[in-house]
Chain A
Amino acid sequence: MALSREEVQKVALLARLELTQEELDAQAQHINTLLQYVEVLQTLDVTGVPPTSHVLPMVNVLREDIMRPSLSREEVLANAPESREGCFVVPRIVEGANV
């Protein structure tokens, strides 16, 4: 199946990528080429075959919930594009709220 430009636009929103019109066309073409290539997977009978998410026989790796030292606030914020009073700064999310 081939994806339309509108469908690609929707995927881009889900992926949080703002693509230009040219990029959208290129992406549509690329995705459709790849989807065509992976059609070969549909030719295999996988009835009753369990999915492999991970090759090692381990599930639900648990550990004790113990306090241990972590990075300081200064170290964590050192890479932030913008920070203020020990917090990350982000654009306003709730319209009309007082900051």
Chain B
Amino acid sequence: MSELFYQTAQELRAKIGSGEISSREAVMSCLERINAVEPKVQAFLTVTSQEALAQADAIDKRRANGEALPPLAGVPIALKDNMCTKGVRTTAGSRILDNFVPPYSATVVNRLEAAGAILIGKANLDEFAMGSSTENSGFFTSRNPWDTERVPGGSSGGSAAAVAAGEAPIALGSDTGGSIRQPAGLCGVVGLKPTYGRVSRYGLIAYASSLDQIGTFGRSVYDCALQLNAIAGYDPLDSTSANVGVPDYTHACGKDIQGLRIGIPKEFFEQGVSAEVAGAVRKAVSQLIKLGASIEMCSLPHTDYALAAYYIIAPAECSSNLARFDGVKYGHRTNELAGHIGLTEKTRDEGFGDEVKQRIMIGTYALSAGYYDAYYKRAQQVRTLILRDYQRAFEKFDVLATPVTPAPAFKVGEKADPMAMKLADVCTLPINMAGVPALSVPCGFVEGLPVGLQLIAKHFDEETLFRTASAYEQATDWHNQHPNL
């Protein structure tokens, strides 16, 4: 049996329920692990030790009183630091929110609390979730637990690294162009981006509102299902959350995949994907065939246009969303004396990092008078073509299988060219454009570094993702391997 800090949420919850361990012990095991490995991994911006222990004691007391415990009772969880937590500093990885303490919690935070989960810390990210490595964080770069010279991926890199390193059994992230699946793939953990609208975005600090979606990290497929059970569903505070029933996603885990129809979109193997990564994905697909699935090549012809359309739509929405940071209501304000416009300009120049400024500039340009039709409207039309590709594919297939990333984790500082960094998201971006759910599950190692298999399903069919990924997971041993730290 592995150490307590490498137990899954499912295992911890069972042990807490039976009284084999207390919630305090579960929390302490994570806090001790954080103390031991955090200097190397640097996954957290804030660790909430005291609050976590107090909550653990409350759970243990409820158990002692014979109360029925909720599904995540006593289980520690890390949250990407772009989700508002009442009374706990929330930075979005930006200096402009260095001192921001939200007066309210995100809906997902309230739902996790109701499910008994215990917040253990706020995880590092690329500033405002813009980036693929955490190198754009306004604070520091998190490290890949498998090789601390390398990035954990991003933007939810802190969440992925924390789960891979045993600092937390589960975590939430957000995914706008791959920000959950890419770091999950690079850190060797499971990462789910649910359907757009499946999970409320209320209290998630916005980047690109039509693409952002909160999702889950775990060291098992089941743990992602457990978390989605807790956070999914309609929320009157987010008018884009969908009023669609929430099944018990854990029931999809452990089912067979006999007769499952899997499509392999050829475009995803042409986008500079390394031979080794393609090989690992092909092996995983062979495994799925052995488990009873049928496989056929297919085409999503507009895949090659997704990156270009994304880099108009996401910056456009970002420029609008980030207009709220003006140095008046909250966050950083410049100390320089300046007039009304000058105050805003200087505050934003001091508070935002380079990547964020670049995206604000591109978005502002793309939305400005005279250019709107040529850029923003056209990108939205191309988005329709991408969405139709997926709708057509799901008439024939239950699941699509692709690589998550073109290559394993790169070295810190290796992708200094911003365009090179953006190309690292080429396999994950198109999925956000279509709004369909997708999951990354570990499918092997390339030169000692984990790589992931991406599974994609139609809108609101997360169950098929869990069923497929859990069948694959049970037939393989990748998820039982942990980094040496």
Q: When the two chains form their complex, are residues B328 and A88 in contact, meaning their CB atoms are under 8 A apart?
A: yes
Q: When the two chains form their complex, are residues A53 and B308 in contact, meaning their CB atoms are under 8 A apart?
A: no
A43-60: CB near B (< 8 Å → 1, else 0) gives 010100111111110100
- Residue from the set B379, B382, B387 with the largest chain A CB neighbour count within 10 Å: B382
In the complex the two chains form, what is the Cα distance from A71 to B100 in whole Å? 16
Q: When the two chains form their complex, are residues B418 and A30 in contact, meaning their CB atoms are under 8 A apart?
A: yes
B455-466: CB near A (< 8 Å → 1, else 0) gives 000010000000
A34 within 8 A of B: yes
Q: When the two chains form their complex, are residues B305 and A40 in contact, meaning their CB atoms are under 8 A apart?
A: yes
Q: Which of B185-193, B272-280, B339-347 contacts A (4 or more CB under 8 A)?
A: B339-347
Q: When the two chains form their complex, are residues A79 and B349 in contact, meaning their CB atoms are under 8 A apart?
A: no
B460 to chain A, nearest CB (A): 10
| CB-based nearest A residue for B308 | A38
A2 within 8 A of B: no
- Are A58 and B240 also in contact (CB < 8 A) when A16-B348, A17-B349, A38-B311 are? yes
B452 within 8 A of A: no
- Residue from the set A8, A12, A16, A37 with the largest chain B CB neighbour count within 10 Å: A16
Q: When the two chains form their complex, are residues B330 and A80 in contact, meaning their CB atoms are under 8 A apart?
A: yes
Q: When the two chains form their complex, are residues B329 and A88 in contact, meaning their CB atoms are under 8 A apart?
A: yes
Q: When the two chains form their complex, are residues B365 and A17 in contact, meaning their CB atoms are under 8 A apart?
A: no
Q: Chain A residues with Cβ under 8 A from B384's Cβ?
A: 49-52
- Residue from the set A18, A71, A79 with the largest chain B CB neighbour count within 10 Å: A18
Q: Chain A residues with Cβ under 8 A from B381's Cβ?
A: 46, 49-52
Q: When the two chains form their complex, are residues B342 and A11 in contact, meaning their CB atoms are under 8 A apart?
A: no
Chain A 1-28 interface residues, beta-carbon cutoff 8 Å to B: 3, 8, 11-12, 14-19, 23, 26-27
Q: Chain A residues with Cβ under 8 A from B419's Cβ?
A: 33-34, 37
Q: When the two chains form their complex, are residues A54 and B210 in contact, meaning their CB atoms are under 8 A apart?
A: yes
In the complex the two chains form, what is the Cα distance from A41 to B375 in whole Å? 8
Number of A-B contacts (CB under 8 A): 158
A90 within 8 A of B: yes
Q: When the two chains form their complex, are residues A16 and B341 in contact, meaning their CB atoms are under 8 A apart?
A: yes
B450 to chain A, nearest CB (A): 30
Number of B interface residues in the complex (CB < 8 A): 68
Q: When the two chains form their complex, are residues B210 and A17 in contact, meaning their CB atoms are under 8 A apart?
A: no
B231-269: CB near A (< 8 Å → 1, else 0) gives 000001001101000000000000000000000000000
In the complex the two chains form, what is the Cα distance from A55 to B459 in whole Å? 9
Q: When the two chains form their complex, are residues A56 and B197 in contact, meaning their CB atoms are under 8 A apart?
A: yes
Q: Chain A residues with Cβ under 8 A from B480's Cβ?
A: none
Q: When the two chains form their complex, are residues A17 and B361 in contact, meaning their CB atoms are under 8 A apart?
A: yes
In the complex the two chains form, what is the Cα distance from A42 to B312 in whole Å? 13
Cβ-neighbour of A91 out of B239, B302, B323, B339 (below 8 A): B339
| CB-based nearest A residue for B349 | A18
Q: When the two chains form their complex, are residues A40 and B368 in contact, meaning their CB atoms are under 8 A apart?
A: no
B336-377: CB near A (< 8 Å → 1, else 0) gives 001111111110110010100110111011001000001101
- Are A41 and B361 also in contact (CB < 8 A) when A15-B319, A55-B196, A79-B329 are? no
In the complex the two chains form, what is the Cα distance from A31 to B366 in whole Å? 10
B110 within 8 A of A: no
B181 within 8 A of A: no
B120 within 8 A of A: no
In the complex the two chains form, what is the Cα distance from A60 to B326 in whole Å? 29
Q: When the two chains form their complex, are residues A63 and B236 in contact, meaning their CB atoms are under 8 A apart?
A: yes
In the complex the two chains form, what is the Cα distance from A53 to B459 in whole Å? 16
B333 within 8 A of A: yes
Q: When the two chains form their complex, are residues B333 and A34 in contact, meaning their CB atoms are under 8 A apart?
A: no
B371 to chain A, nearest CB (A): 10
In the complex the two chains form, what is the Cα distance from A78 to B329 in whole Å? 9
B73 to chain A, nearest CB (A): 29
In the complex the two chains form, what is the Cα distance from A61 to B379 in whole Å? 24
Q: Chain A residues with Cβ under 8 A from B323's Cβ?
A: 16
B373-399: CB near A (< 8 Å → 1, else 0) gives 011011111111101000000000000
A25 to chain B, nearest CB (A): 13
In the complex the two chains form, what is the Cα distance from A80 to B383 in whole Å? 39
Q: When the two chains form their complex, are residues B308 and A40 in contact, meaning their CB atoms are under 8 A apart?
A: yes
Q: When the two chains form their complex, are residues A18 and B104 in contact, meaning their CB atoms are under 8 A apart?
A: no
Closest 5 CB pairs of A and B: A55-B435, A51-B380, A81-B333, A79-B330, A18-B345
7 cross-chain CB contacts under 8 A? A17-B348, A18-B349, A30-B361, A55-B196, A56-B196, A58-B242, A81-B328
Given contacts A26-B354, A78-B103, 4 further A-B contacts (CB under 8 A): A11-B365, A55-B196, A79-B101, A91-B338
